[in-house]
Structure 1
Amino acid sequence: MQLADFSDFLRAARAQPEPQRLLFVFAVAELPQQHTPGQARRFEQRRGGALAPVMCVDKGATELKDFYALAEESRQTGQPWDMVFVAALAGEHARLPQPAQVDRGLKMMVDAVHRGAVERFLAFDPQGHVVRFS
């Protein structure tokens, strides 16, 4: 399924047969400690760097109205971010996933962001634009 924006993601999550818990990992771009001059130049041009998770949260599929609501709530934490990674975790038998499942899912996402293994997540910039990695 090709999703063009956050609204498509919300619609898809809400249309699933089992209830969904939405997982969000917010990250900042930073220059790696052991970097080359070329990496520093690309980072200054906002075309490179490493992503570091700074916060995560889960929400029910019906708890968010739109991307603006998510972004506004995140701003209230005072923690800046450059990108948010998004995934959905399905429940079973008409029940939401258990808290332990949600915690494992968020931990797995945080670990994946640390490793740069983000290809299976949706990613959005602070304005709600889809980010594609190449």
Structure 2
Amino acid sequence: MDIQTFDDLLVLSRRQTKPQHLLFVFVGATLPENASGEQRAEFNAGNGGELEPVMVVDKGPDELADFQTLIEEAARFGPPWSLVFASSVSWHDGLPPTSEETEASLQHMVDSIRNGSFEGMLPFDRNGDPVHLANPGAAKP
């Protein structure tokens, strides 16, 4: 199944043989302190900038009816955001991941985003559509 929308991700995660625990990192766009005039103009026009994590959350796939549910919760509890990165961890030995494992996975996602490495994560825009980002942290062949 191709993931064409965030809701496809939910459907796919519910179909896995091992239960999944979904991880989300919400990010906003910021302008680097040493930005050039051109970068500032681009940023002010709604392009460019750096991704800065602003909020993390974990959910079981059955805790979310759809993308709208996630963004309504995000609006109630968190700051404004531009994209949400999604990943998951599987249950092991019939048990959900511990809170320590979940926190470590979320922190790894945050660190990876800050380093520009998006491997293993799916970014979605505010409409729940996948976003293709250049991955400068990825190894070049």
TM-score by length of 1: 0.93
Q: Which residue of 1 aligns with 2:86?
A: 86
Are 1:27 and 1:52, in contact at CA under 8 Å, matched by a contact in 2? yes
Hey, what does 2:58 align to over in structure 1?
Answer: 58
Alignment of 1:3-82 (within 5 A): 3-82=3-82
Equivalent residue letter for 1:79: P
> Are the equivalent residues in 1 in contact too, given 2:55–2:78 (CA < 8 A)?
no
Structure 1: gaps (5+ residues): none
Q: For residue 94 of structure 1, report the CA deviation from its aligned partner.
A: 2.5
**Matched residue of 2:48: which SS?**
coil
Q: Which residue number in structure 2 is paired with residue 123 of structure 1?
A: 123
| Percent of pairs with identical residues | 39
Q: Which SS does the other structure have where 2:77 is aligned?
A: coil
TM-score, normalization by structure 2? 0.88
- Residue deviations 1:25-82, cap 9 Å, x none? 0111011111112211221222210010111010011110000000000000151111
Cα shift at 1:18? 0.9
Taking the aligned partners of 2:102 and 2:46, their CA distance within structure 1 comes to 32
Letter in 2 for 1:116: G
Runs of 4+ in 1 over 2 A off after TM superposition: none
Q: Distance in 1 between matches of 2:80 and 2:72?
A: 11
- Give unmatched runs, 5+ long, in structure 2: 135-141
Q: SS at 1:51's partner residue? A: strand
CA RMSD of aligned residues (A): 1.4
User: Residue 8 of structure 1: CA displacement?
Assistant: 1.0
Q: Contact between 1:25 and 1:106, CA under 8 Å: does it hold in 2?
A: yes
CA drift at 1:120:
2.9
